[in-house]
Structure 1
Amino acid sequence: MSKYNFDFDPTLGENSLTKLIDRIEPNSTVLEFGPAHGRLTKYLSEQMNCEVTIVEIDDEAGNEASTFAKESFVGEDVGNIENYKWATLIDNKFDYILFADVLEHLYYPQKVLEKAKEFLKDTGAILVSIPNISHHSVIIDLIQDKFEYREIGLLDNTHIRFFTKQSFVSMIDKIPDLKISEIDATYCQVGNNEFGNSYSDLNCHLQTGLQLLEEGHVYQYIFDIRKNYDTDIVDNLKPNSNKQLTVYFADDIENLDEKNSIYIKWAGKTFSQAIDIEDSEQNIHFIRIDPIETVGVFKVNDIKIYYKNEQVASILYATNASLNIGELFVFDNTDPQIIYQISSGKVDKVEIVLEILDLNISHMTKRVCEFIQNNGTVSKLELQLKDNHINNLNEHIENLESVREQQQEQINTLNNELQLKDNHVTNLDEHIANLESVREQQQEQINTLNNEMQLKDNHVTNLDEHIANLESVREQQNEQINTLNNELQLKDNHVSNLDEHIENLESVREQQQEQINTLNNELQLKDNHVANLDEHIANLESAREQQQEQIQNLEINLVQQQDLYDKDTKALQEQIFKLTQFLHELPKNRKKIGGK
C-alpha cells in the first residue's frame, strides 16, 4: 500500500489541501498532477462537481484515482510527468492546474511548469504546495550535523528538489508570462512535527537568533500562479510570534525584577501595543522595557505613560545600549534594557511603539560604538548633527528608493507593452502572410467561378426554354389537378363517412370489450368459487374417510363389547341360577339344621 494513501476530510482543520480547495471554484475544469490515490480528486469531483484530468505514474494509486476522474493518464508511460507524453494526448485547456506536494519529487520542476502553462486558460491559475526546507526544525538538525530522510514530511525520502520561499519565487520569475499572485502557508512550530527536536537543543545565542527569524515556522508554502499577472503579490503569511517584550515596573530601580513584570509575545518588525498595569495604586517611579532578547538596532517611535487617562511625564533614565542617538538604540548584548523614570509615581497604562531596524550588528557598527564610548570629546551637538545627517540621508534614500521603484514599475510596464507589441507584430506578419495566401487562392477561385458563370449563363438560357415548355405542360397539368381535386373532394367526403362509421364501430367495440371484461371478472369469481368448492369437497371427503374409519373402529369395539356383555350376562345368569337354587334349597337346609 502507498504511504500517501490516506483519507481526506476538509472539516478536520486547516492544511495545504483545504487551502488549495478554497481557491477552486465549483464546476471548474482541473488538471491534477500526482493525485496518488485520488483523495483530492474524489472531493473535487463529487463535492464540487469539477471535471478532473489526472496524471499519475503509480499504477495502483492512479487506477484508484481514475475512478473519480473524467480523463486519466496512468503508469510509467503516459503517467510519467517528465516524459511529457501526457502533453501530446491532452487537447484542451483548464481553469486550474494542481501540483499538491509534487514539484519536489521532480528533476526539472521549472520545465514541467513551463509545459503545464500551455494547458492553462488565460484566466486560470496554477496552484502549488511545496514543503519549506528552511523550517527551523530542519535548521536545528543541520546545526547539529544531522540530515536524515524520513518516510513522509519535510525530508520525505522521495524528495529530489528542495525549496525555500525565495528559491521558488526565483524559479517562477524565470518562466515567461507566469507570475505569483498570492502566497499562503501552513504552519507547524518546532517540537510539533516529525523531527522531535526543539530550540533548547541549541546554545542560547543560536536559540535566540533562530527564534527571531521570520517564517521559520512555515511547514508548507502555497502559491497561486497566473498568466501575465501585473499587480502586487497578496502575502497571507503570518509572522513568527517568537519575540518577547518584557515590561518591569517598581518604585525603586533596584526592585525591577520578575515579581513586577509583564511578558508579551509579538511578531513582525513593529511592536505597537497598550499595556495595562493591574496594580495601579502601587508607587511606580521606574519602568524598564526589554524589547527583545538578542542584539539589534531598535527605534522607539513612541512611549506614553498614563494614569487614569492622563498622560504622565517621563524621561529616559538609563539604557545598556552601546549607542543611543535620540530614538535609535543599538544593542550588542542579548539583554537589551531601556529604563524610564516616572515623575508622578502612579501608572496604570503604558503605550509602546517600537520597530526593529536590524538584528545583525556588523563589526563596523561595533567599532563605531566602541569609538564613541571611548572618545570623551564627542559632544551632544556632534551627535545631534550626525543624527540630523542620518535622518536626511535616510529620507534621501527613501526618496531615491521610491523613485527607483516607480522607474522599475515603468520599466516593467514598458517591457510588458514591448513584449505585447512584439507579439502583436509577429501575429500581424503571420496574418498578412495568411491573407496573401488566401488572396491568391481566392483569385484562382474567381477565375474558376467566371468560367463556371459562363457555363451557367448558357445553361440558364436552355433552362428558360425548358421552363417555357414546362409552363405549358403545367397549365395542362393544372386542369388535370383541378379534376383530380374534385374527385379527391368526393373521396374525402366518403372517407369522412367511413371515419364516422369506424368511430361508431369503435364505440360498439369498446362497449363489447367492457362487457367481455365484466364477464371475465364474473367468470374469474366463479372459477375461484368452484376452486373453493373443490377444496371444501376434498376436505369433506377427507373428513368422511376419517369418520368411516372411526365407525369401523366403533363397530369393532361394539362387537368386542357385545362379546364381553354376552359373557358377563351368561356369567350373571349362572350366578342368578345358583342363587335361586340356593334360595330354593335354603328352607330345607334350615329344617335340617333345626332338626338337629
Structure 2
Amino acid sequence: MKYNLEVDLSIKSSHSLILSRIKPRSKVLEFGPATGYMTRYIKEKLQCEIVCVEIDTEAAAKAEVYADKMIVSDINALSWKEDIDGLKFDYILFADVLEHLYNPGLVLATASEFLEEGGYVMTSIPNISHNSIILELMEGRFNYQQIGLLDNTHIRFFTRESVLKLLSDCDLEPVEWLTTMRRPNSTEFNQDYNKLPVPVRNFLKTRIDGEVYQFVTVSQKSTEPEANITRFQVEQYQNYLDKDYCQFYWAKDKRFSENNSQNITISDKSFSLYRFKIPEGAWNSLRFDPANTIVLGEIKNIRLICSNSIVKEISNEAITESVNTVILENNAVIRFVSLGDDPQLLFQDLSRYTKSGCVIEFEMKVEDNIATIIEECVNYIHHYVDLYNTQQEQTNQYRVELKEHKAKNNMQLKLLNEEIERLGAQNVQLDNELKSKIYDFEMEIGLLNNQLEDICKREEKLKKEINAITSSLSWKITAPLRRLFDYIGNRKTKE
C-alpha cells in the first residue's frame, strides 16, 4: 500500500483534476483505488454510486468502506468484467493505474465497453519524457524509485504521442487534455537546470512536455475512429512546489536559513505590493530572493514600518546585487535580471530599526518571458558596449596625449643629459686645473718651508753667537764704554 494519500482539491494534482470533473450522484467505476482516498470523496462528497477494482486485499478492505461494490481482482486478468456485466457507468477512472498494467490497451478497451453513452473515461499517466528523466539519462542513470515517474512497479511508460495512440486504439477521443507541471528540482530526482550549458538548458526548458509530470485525459467514445484525434481543450496546471515565489531572509552575520524567512507567491506582471514581517531580533543581515527562476524585475518604494508605526523610506542604494543577480539600473526604480533559479539581493544593515520587529514592504513586478529577458540583457550589453567604446576612445586619446608628453619629456631628458655631460666634462677640466694649481701651491709651500727652515737655523746660530759674545769677558769689560757711547749718542740726538 505505497499510495495512501489525502485529497486536497485546492492543489491541482492529477487526482483533484479528475475529482473536480465528476458530477454528483453519478455512476463511477474506479480501477486501482488503493486505500480509497479518492473513493471516499466520490462517495461522501459527491454521493455517487461507485464500484472499485483493486488487486491488493489489504488496501481493498480499507477502500471497501466507501464503495458500493469492491471487486478484489487482478485488473490484467479481466475477470472483473463478469462482476459488472450489464452495468454502465458515467465515469470510468484510471488514476495512476495504466502504467502498472502489462496490456493497458486491452484493459482500457474492455473497460470502455461499460461506458454509458456520453460518459467519460479519465486517466492520469506519468510522462516518461519529463526533463528530470532526461537529465538523469544524461548522467547515465535510470534508477527506479519507490514512487513517482520511475515507480518500481511501473511496467509501461508513456509520452504525449503514446497516450494519444493508446486512446485512439481504444476508440477514445480526449475532450480535455490536462497536465500537472513540475520543474526538475521539485521532482523526486531533484535535478537542476543550472548545471547544464546554457544552450542545453534553454532547449530543455522550451521543449514541449519537458516539465509535464502527468498527463490527465478526459475522453469519450470517438465519433470518428479513423480521424486524427487532436481536437481537445488543453490546460496545464503548475505544481504548487513550482509556483514562482519571492523570499525574504533575516539573519545574523549572513547565516541565512529557511527557518528565518518568509515566501510570497509572485503576482502578475504588474507592480504589486509585497510585505514581509521581520520578527524581533538583532538581525544585521537581510536578503531578498526576488524569484525562484530566471526573471526580469523592477523594485521601487521600499519602506520599513517599525513597531511604533513609524515609516522609514529606504533608499534604493541600500540594495546591492549578490549571487545570480545583475542590477541593470538603480535610480527611482531598481531594475534587475536574475541569471539562475536562486537570484539574491542584499540589504544594508538595518538592525537599528529591526531590533523590536518591523515590516519591510516594496512594490515589485517581474517578467519571466525568456525572449523579453534576453532582449533586455542584449540591450544592457549594448549599453555597456557603447560605454566601453566611449571609454576606449577616451583611453586611446589619453594614450596619444601620453605619447606626445612622453616624446616631449624624452627630448627634455635628452637635453638635460647632454647638459649634464657638458657640465661633467667641464667639471673634469676644472678638477684637473684645480689639482694642477694645488700641486703648484704645494710645491711653492715646500720651497717656502725650506727657506723658513734655513732662516730658523741661521737665527738659532745668531742667537748662539750673541749669547757667546754677551757671556764673554771682553763684553763685560767694555760695558762702561758702551754706556758712555750711549750717553754721547743720546745728547747728540737731543741737540
State TM-score, norm by structure 2.
0.49
Please state which structure has a larger fraction of its residues in helix.
Answer: 1
Higher RCO (C-alpha under 8 Å, 6+ residues apart): 2
State TM-score, norm by structure 1.
0.41
Please state which structure has a larger fraction of its residues in strand.
Answer: 2
